[in-house]
A and B are shown apart, each in its own frame.
Chain A
Amino acid sequence: QSALTQPPSASGSPGQSVTISCTGTSGDIGGYRFVSWYQQHPGKAPQLVIYEVNKRPLGVPDRFSGSKSGNTASLTVSGLQADDEAAYYCSSYAATNKVVFGGGTKLTVL
């Protein structure tokens, strides 16, 4: 059982927006701004798409955005494209000096 809770699946049609949630506790998401999101295509290594709740690494399109409210973080993918179909994982710093991941959400582009 993962420390952070994500829905196992999400879906949307091309061009639409989809939001994936990630719920933790005050000891991780709720207490710190070190929330990250990763995209992983089948058979590939994960790729960072969001860090520090809502910052994008260089090269990640602004269709990817992040937010946080209380103990729940969210990733929104706007203008869905076929290549966005992948697994998405959230992670957070957790007291003390650990990193915890969510179980992952498989995003399907219909």
Chain B
Amino acid sequence: QVQLVESGGGVVQPGRSLRLSCAASRFSFGNYAMHWVRQAPGKGLEWVALISYDGRNTYYADSVRGRFTISRDNPINALYLEMNTLGPEDTAVYYCARTGDGPGLFWSGYSWGQGTLVTVSS
């Protein structure tokens, strides 16, 4: 069964940076594109970013483009989200999600981690 474990969340001051990690196991990590999706407290889901299986292609939501960077390290089965110039609007639970097999599942989160909470506050 797919396992995704996010880490790196916490309380950070506005304007500062934070890096989130997602440890993947029990599947061939290097074969799948990966998403980051966030959820502000009591709010709905918001897509953040997507990276192709080989890391060559990345896609971002307008709200984070230029501030966040998605990356991956396939040999160690790890996904990252580097977040810069954080603001209160970035406060959320951040989930990593694996895509599925086939082109129809590239834009979907097939399997999800349990999330890590990022709180931006002074």
Contacts and interface: CB of A to CB of B under 8 A. Distances in A.
- Chain B associates with chain A: yes
Interface of A: 2, 33-34, 36, 38, 40, 45-48, 51-52, 55, 57, 87, 89, 91-93, 97-104
Contact of A104 (B37, B44, B95): B44
B108 A51 contact: yes
A34 B111 CA distance: 17
Contact of A57 (B45, B110, B113): B110
A104 B104 contact: no
B105 A45 contact: no
B114 to A, nearest CB: 5
Interface range, B side: 20 to 34
B109 A34 contact: no
Contacts of A91: 45, 47, 107-108
Nearest to A93: B107
Given A97-B59, A99-B50, A48 B109 contact: yes
Given A45-B113, A46-B112, A57-B100, A34 B47 contact: no
Nearest to A32: B107
Given A38-B109, A45-B114, A52-B105, 13 more contacts: A46-B37, A46-B109, A46-B112, A51-B100, A51-B105, A55-B104, A57-B110, A91-B47, A91-B108, A99-B61, A100-B47, A102-B44, A103-B44
Contact of A98 (B61, B97, B113, B115): B61
A36 B113 CA distance: 18
A103 B111 CA distance: 20
Nearest to B62: A98
24 contacts: A2-B44, A33-B104, A34-B106, A36-B109, A38-B45, A45-B112, A45-B113, A46-B37, A46-B95, A51-B104, A52-B104, A57-B100, A87-B44, A89-B45, A91-B47, A99-B47, A99-B50, A99-B61, A100-B47, A101-B44, A101-B45, A102-B44, A103-B44, A104-B45
